[in-house]
Amino acid sequence: MNLIGLYTLFYKEVLRFGKVLLQTLIAPVITAMLYLVVFGHVFEGRVQAFPGVSYTVFLIPGLMMMSVIQNAFANSSSSLIQSKVTGNIMFMMLTPLSHFEFFLAYVLASVVRGVLVGVGVFLAALVFTEAPVKHPGFILLFMFLSSATLGAIGVMVGVWAEKFDQIAGFQNFIILPLSFLSGVFYSIHSLPEFWQTLSHFNPFFYMIDGFRYGFFGISDIAPARSLGIVTLFLAVLTGVTLALLKSGYKLRD
């Protein structure tokens, strides 16, 4: 493996979002805090998703993971579409990097951004309330797997897209609705049976539910099941994206 080349591309991607921290880190944290303040104020004392857990505290893991999901996807997808639109993608294609190294650099940079945003949301939430941490290993594992999964989706969509509108459309009509409908603001046990069943087909639900288990030791389904599904989803996406990169689809034109 070309470790120097891999690190260089990874470092370039980290510097890219690091240059605009107001947009890539601070803005998502502020947005999450607005959700926490508004929904927490409206439903605190009226809704109890888990026994013994206040609604405001219940929101924190969901808002963290929603922020991780959205920003990990945005990092890799926006970088690739920018490179394609400006034409500098050809210079990266000429580097002595394999398609796996190319993929890994983008995904790891997405993980860094996703984790930083998630940690930022958690620290900001501590200003308003305290959150228990029952299983920190699950928190770290689900944060890594989820951000890597969305980073892989971002690479795949970035390869497919030809203009910024397509990235924005995928973000607004697929990523955003799936993240909102994955149990961020509620436990799926509060839903009618039909919607509970439908929620089990949303991969983001397993990311948030397993992540939430790390905080409270309570979840809607077994955390091992969530872990297995998220890991399988990441493996499938990795295989599909690597195949696209290896074929040069929409990159060698």
Q: For 105-133, what is the mean pLDDT?
A: 95
Which string of b and e fits 96-112 if b means at least 16 CB within 10 Å?
Answer: ebbbebbbbbbbbbbbb
Alpha carbon of 124 to those of 29, 60, 100, 204, 250: distances in Å?
A: 7, 10, 36, 23, 41
* pLDDT at 117 exceeding the cut of 90: yes
Among residues 203, 202, 200, 173, the alpha carbon closest in space to that of 189 is found at: 200
CA 72 to chain centre: 5
Report DSSP state, residue 201.
Answer: T
Note the pLDDT tens digit of each residue in 184-203: 998 888 888 888 899 999 99
Q: For 72-79, what is the mean pLDDT?
A: 96
Alpha carbon of 114 to those of 75, 84, 91: distances in Å?
A: 9, 23, 27
Whether residue 252 is contained in a domain is answered as no
Among residues 242, 74, 232, the alpha carbon closest in space to that of 158 is found at: 74
pLDDT class of 231 with cuts at 50, 70, 90? very high
Note the pLDDT tens digit of each residue in 198-223: 999 999 999 999 999 999 999 999 99
Whether residue 253 is contained in a domain is answered as no
pTM for the predicted model, two decimal places: 0.94
pLDDT number for residue 47? 75
Give backbone dihedrals phi and psi of 74, rounded to 5 degrees, phi first: -60, -35
Note the pLDDT tens digit of each residue in 123-165: 999 998 888 999 999 999 999 999 999 999 999 999 999 999 9
Among residues 174, 143, 144, 142, the alpha carbon closest in space to that of 156 is found at: 174
Tell me if 228 sits within 8 A of 203, measured CB to CB.
Answer: no
* pLDDT at 229 exceeding the cut of 80: yes
Give the Cα separation of 60 and 180 in Å (integer).
Answer: 14
Q: For 2-14, what is the mean pLDDT?
A: 94
pLDDT number for residue 19? 94
Whether residue 21 is contained in a domain is answered as yes
Whether residue 148 is contained in a domain is answered as yes
* pLDDT at 253 exceeding the cut of 70: no
Tell me if 180 sits within 8 A of 206, measured CB to CB.
Answer: no
Whether residue 143 is contained in a domain is answered as yes
Domain assignment of residue 236, given as a range: 3-247
Task: Give the chain's end-to-end CA distance (angstroms, integer).
Answer: 26
Our count of domains for the chain comes to 1
Whether residue 58 is contained in a domain is answered as yes
Which residues, 6 or more positions from 252, have their beta carbon under 8 angstroms from its beta carbon? Answer: 93
Whether residue 144 is contained in a domain is answered as yes
Give the Cα separation of 248 and 100 in Å (integer).
Answer: 12
pLDDT number for residue 221? 92
What is the length of the chain? 253
DSSP SS3 for 157 = helix
Give the Cα separation of 134 and 57 in Å (integer).
Answer: 13
pLDDT class of 242 with cuts at 50, 70, 90? very high
Whether residue 184 is contained in a domain is answered as yes
Give the Cα separation of 128 and 162 in Å (integer).
Answer: 42
